[in-house]
Structure 1
């Protein structure tokens, strides 16, 4: 399924939980937005809507490195002489030319995950630290691997548990579980649109459902 469908169905799951627990309007809106975002989470293992939104922007890094390269070139011709001048200019030129080809969005997502984990550790926030670990691992995985399995669902449910514990709002865990599960369900072969299903029992089984 495409990202829009996952977003909408995740949001519907959030509305369902809000209705089930009789949440007030502000909480119901929060659950809807939370569910919609979580509906996209398993696809952090591929370049998509959510991964592009939350990860550091590749273009910023490329631009900064390009500017640094330009400064190194100028500095080399002003300060250095002979061989050192050309070595410095070569390094600067490499910083301008190579980053657009070498820096991938997945690396930006990995850095985002690491940064999130470090912030979680500094704030002693278990759910934030675990979320950072999830993002980092997802950045390194092939599409529809562990993020699309029961292990991924269980791990994100733990994030939901600590998130609910932190915010003291009943229903957050249920939103996390149902919205995440909705993504796995929508990616199954039972829907004709899906050429491939999901391997819920990976890494223990490669059976595709």
Structure 2
């Protein structure tokens, strides 16, 4: 399934959850954007080609990393203090600018993951540390491997849970879990446009759905 479909469905999932939890308009917009972003996250295991229109192209990945950079900038100023605030904001600025200067997609993702990990360490935020690890590891994996499994889903739900506890905004975990799940469902082989499915239970089973 292509990236536009994933972001659209993920965004709709976020919008639906905002209505379910009775969110106000700013939160509804945030949930819609978050859902669209998370709907793309499993494809961070990009292989750098668009031959089968499964992976994300470089411009889409750069836009995603720019989104992460902006989020870290705003997060640092609103939820951190002192030196952590400025370190987090500086790393966010780097993430917003540097990806456009890197040629290889895998390299861009690996460096981004390391930068997000460092931001999490300096700001003492476990959810950000885990997200940095996710990006870095995803950049080293073949497409539709662990990011497209129950392990990947559980890992990202952990990130969503920690972020919800930090921001105290009900529904973040639901958006992360449901939007991530929407990606896995759309990549299953019973969808006509997919040449192959996903192995949800890897590395324990190669059974493909």
Asked if these proteins are the same fold (TM beyond 0.5), I'd say yes
The structure number with the bigger radius of gyration is: 1
TM-score (norm 1): 0.77
Q: Does 1:52 find its partner at 2:62?
A: yes
Paired position in structure 2 for 1:172: 172
Q: Report the 3-state secondary structure (helix = DSSP H, G, I; strand = E; otherwise coil) of the residue aligned with 2:139.
A: helix
Q: Does 1:203 find its partner at 2:203?
A: yes
Question: Take 1:108 and 1:5, find their aligned partners in 2: how far apart are those partners?
Answer: 24
For the 8 Å contact 1:35–1:179, the answer to whether it is kept is yes
Question: Take 2:39 and 2:147, find their aligned partners in 1: how far apart are those partners?
Answer: 12
Paired position in structure 2 for 1:159: 159
Q: CA deviation at 1:107?
A: 1.1
Q: CA deviation at 1:108?
A: 1.6
Q: Report the 3-state secondary structure (helix = DSSP H, G, I; strand = E; otherwise coil) of the residue aligned with 1:140.
A: coil
Question: Take 1:59 and 1:12, find their aligned partners in 2: how far apart are those partners?
Answer: 28
For the 8 Å contact 1:58–1:104, the answer to whether it is kept is no
Question: Take 1:150 and 1:58, find their aligned partners in 2: how far apart are those partners?
Answer: 29
Question: Take 1:15 and 1:60, find their aligned partners in 2: how far apart are those partners?
Answer: 34
Deviations 1:141-197 (A, max 9, x none): 000000000000000000000110111100000000000000000000121111100
Q: Does 1:21 find its partner at 2:36?
A: no
Please, what is the CA RMSD of the aligned residues?
A: 1.5
Select the structure that is richer in helix: 1
Question: Take 2:177 and 2:109, find their aligned partners in 1: how far apart are those partners?
Answer: 23
Q: Which runs of 5+ in 1 are unaligned?
A: 62-102
Q: Which region of structure 1 is more displaced relative to structure 2, 152-161 or 44-53?
A: 44-53
Structure 1 runs of 4+ with >2 Å offset: 49-53, 55-61
Question: Take 1:140 and 1:104, find their aligned partners in 2: how far apart are those partners?
Answer: 13
Q: Which runs of 5+ in 2 are unaligned?
A: 49-55, 67-94
* Residues matched between the structures, number: 168
Question: Take 1:141 and 1:184, find their aligned partners in 2: how far apart are those partners?
Answer: 16
Paired position in structure 1 for 2:10: 10
Q: Report the 3-state secondary structure (helix = DSSP H, G, I; strand = E; otherwise coil) of the residue aligned with 1:201.
A: coil
TM-score (norm 2): 0.77
Q: CA deviation at 1:60?
A: 2.5
For the 8 Å contact 2:120–2:127, the answer to whether it is kept is yes
